[in-house]
Structure formats: structure tokens, C-alpha cells
Amino acid sequence: MKSSFTLLLTRSLKNTMAVFLFGGLSATSLAGVGEGQELYNAYCQICHGALGEGQTMGKPLTDAPANRLLDQELIDVITDGRAGTGMVAWEGSLSEVEIFDIASYIRNLQGKPALVLGGDDSGPSDDPNVIAGEMLFNGLADCISCHSYNEKGGSVGPSLEGVGSRLDDGAIMQALMSPSASIVDGYGVKEVEQQDGTLVRGRYRNDSELAVQIQSEDGQRWVTYFKERVAAVRDLDESLMPDTFSNLGANEQQQLLAFLKSL
């Protein structure tokens, strides 16, 4: 299937009970995420995991390569499969609408908004506050060293792709002002006390009876510490995120908030 979203919308009218209004209105519609979840659970979960985390037979659907796929590329992979892998082509077994709904549900698993048909507002924002906020994010505030968006940035903190649609204004503000109040799963902090008393903190990555692995605060290194060679290993209930936001001026805070809401 190489059809455009417009053709897909036309064909979907024959297969769903949703009603689309044309005329002077723009042709936008929410995809069938609920239907996509049912289809995903029935056909995709066995290989890719209940939450897209990946299994022995199927790759993760929430990692960086999967997140980088354009909407049409994601639909094409489901439709045509991938030669040389276990990913089969679902064209002929599933309708175009069903494939679209599965793709939309996968976007939800990735923390992104559901696919939208006919949308044309995905270009860069021309809002001065958003533009200034992005400059702060990448510059003075240096959020980019820990967080990522648009496939660039650090990995010590959670990806902010789609954060504006996943969190309301209050939740975004709390994350900025009180980052330790709610730490995202997988981004917990461990502290290693070395024999000389030196303390090392970082994002916890792996742990075993023999060793613990943490990602350094600057995100540049994954370091393994053998437990028998250190004085202590502790779990911390605080975030690695610095107090940058509260130290910004009121205008800068509004600019950064506007940028995050635009993602």
C-alpha cells in the first residue's frame, strides 16, 4: 500500500461507522485507537510485546529507530513487511483501515498523538514564545543535554516528544518546578559511594548481584561498578534534573513552557 492519507480516508468510509464531514471544513479525524489496540493485541503483541517493548521474535516498537519512522513509513512496514526479517506483510490479511488503526495505536505506545488524517499543521511554529522557548531549551537552559525531541538530545531524562499532548499544563509545570515529585519509570537515580568516600550519581541502567551500571549525570558514559569494590550503592528518591527552571525569569519560564506545550 502506497496510498496517500487522502485515499486512505476515502476508503475508510466503507469500513467504519464514523461520519466525516466535508465541504468548507478541513478533513481531519482521529484514528480508531481503540480498534487499533484490539487488533494490536490480537496480531502484534505476541512478537512485539504488550507495550511494544519487544520480544524474542519481534523488535521494540518504542525505541529510537521505530520513533524515527514517518507515519507513512510505519504504515508501509505493517502493510508490506520487511524482507529478511520475521516481519510479514499484513496487506491482504488486514484492511487499510485496520492497518492505519494499528499504526495509530503504536504511535500511542510511543507516547505520541494518534495519527491524524488530512492534518496540515505539523510544520514549525511561528509563535515568538515557542521560538524563544526552543532557543532557551537548546541554549541557556541546556535542557537538550538531558532530554530529547525530534530525534536529538540526551537520554538521562525522558524524551519530551509529544509531551504537550501527554501532559496538561499543571503536570508540565510540576515536572519543571518539582522534578523529584514524580520520577518517570526507568529514570530512577542510584548513588555509588566509592571506597575513598567519593559519591557518584547517575541514571540507573542495570543491576545484578555483582555489579550496578549507571549513566553519568552528563549522559556521556555508562559506568559499571562492582559492588564488592565500593562502599555502598543506594537508591535515591530525587531527580537528576537541576533547578534550572526556577532560576529563569518569569518571561523565560513562559517561553520555555510554550515550547514544551508545542511538542
Instruction: Encode pLDDT of 92-125 as tens digits.
Output: 899 888 898 899 889 888 887 767 654 444 445 6
What whole-number percentage of the chain has pLDDT above 70? 83
Report how far residue 38's alpha carbon sits from residue 141's, in angstroms, rounded to the nearest whole number: 42
Mean pLDDT (whole number) for 20-39: 51
Among the residue ranges 13-27, 59-73, 211-225, 229-243, the one predicted with the least confidence is 13-27
Determine the pLDDT at residue 33: 62
User: For residue range 36-51, what is the model confidence (pLDDT) as tens digits?
Assistant: 889 999 999 999 999 9
- Given pLDDT bands bounded at 50, 70 and 90, which one contains residue 219? confident
B/e letters for 229-239, b = 16+ CB within 10 Å, e = fewer, are: ebeebeeeeeb
Report how far residue 259's alpha carbon sits from residue 131's, in angstroms, rounded to the nearest whole number: 7
pTM, two decimals, is: 0.51
Domains of the chain: 5-117 (1.10.760.10), 128-182+242-262 (1.10.760.10), 189-236 (2.30.30.100)
What whole-number percentage of the chain has pLDDT above 90? 27
